[in-house]
Amino acid sequence: MVRALKRFPRRELRLSLLRNYVWYRWASQAEKTHPMIAGFHRYRDWADRRSGAPYLSFAQHLLKQWGRRFRYFGCFLRELFIFQYVVFEVECAPALAEHKQQLAERAQTVADWFRLTFGRHVSRRWLNNFWISYGRRRWQLLWNPLPHLQMVPYAISEIVYTIRFASMVPALVKQTTR
C-alpha cells in the first residue's frame, strides 16, 4: 500500500486511494465479504430473517449483535495500527527521506527516545522493529522481568503515535470528502 500511495504526487489522489484501501480492507477483514457487497457497518434487524433460517430469540439476536460489535472493535484496532503505519510513511515521506538513518535506528538513550517519539519526523519503523524483537523473546519473557520494563517507553510511544494519528484523521477525512 505504501509503495502504491507514494506513486501519486498529489495529496488528493493519495487520500482517495487510501480511502479505497480502508474500505476494501474493512470489507475483507471485518465483514468477510467482497467490498462491493459490504457496507461499513452491518445492521441486522431481529425481524428480518431469511426464509428457512432457524428461529432466534431476541436475546440470542442481541448476543450475536454484541459479539459482532466486539469483533468489529478488534478489527478496528488492528486496522488503526496498519493504516497508522501507512499514513505516516506516505504523508511524511519527504521528511523521512532526509532523516532516514536517524529514524531507522533504535532508541539507545532517553534523548533518542524523545526525538523518535515527540520529534517532528514520524516513522513507525523503529517501533515496529522493537515489537518484532520483543515478540521473538517470548520464552525469555516468562523468566526475566527486565524486558517487560524495557517495553514501557515503547508502549508510551505507541500511545503518542496513536494520538498523533487520531489528530491527523479529521484532516484526512476532510480532504477526501470535498
DSSP 38-91: --SS----SS---TTPPP--HHHHHHHHHHHHHHHHHHHHHHHHHHHHHHHHHH
The full set of domain ranges for the chain reads 1-44+56-91, 92-178
Helix (H, G, I), strand (E, B) or coil at 33: coil
Q: What is the CA radius of gyration of the chain?
A: 21
Q: What is the reported pTM?
A: 0.58
Instruction: Pick 108 or 165 by higher pLDDT.
Output: 165
Burial class of residue 117, CB neighbours in 10 A (0-12, 13-18, 19+): buried
- Segment 44-74, tens digit of pLDDT: 777 777 788 888 888 888 898 888 888 888 8
pLDDT tier for residue 102 given thresholds of 50, 70 and 90: low
- Separation between Cα atoms, residue 77 and residue 48, nearest integer Å: 30
pLDDT tier for residue 99 given thresholds of 50, 70 and 90: low
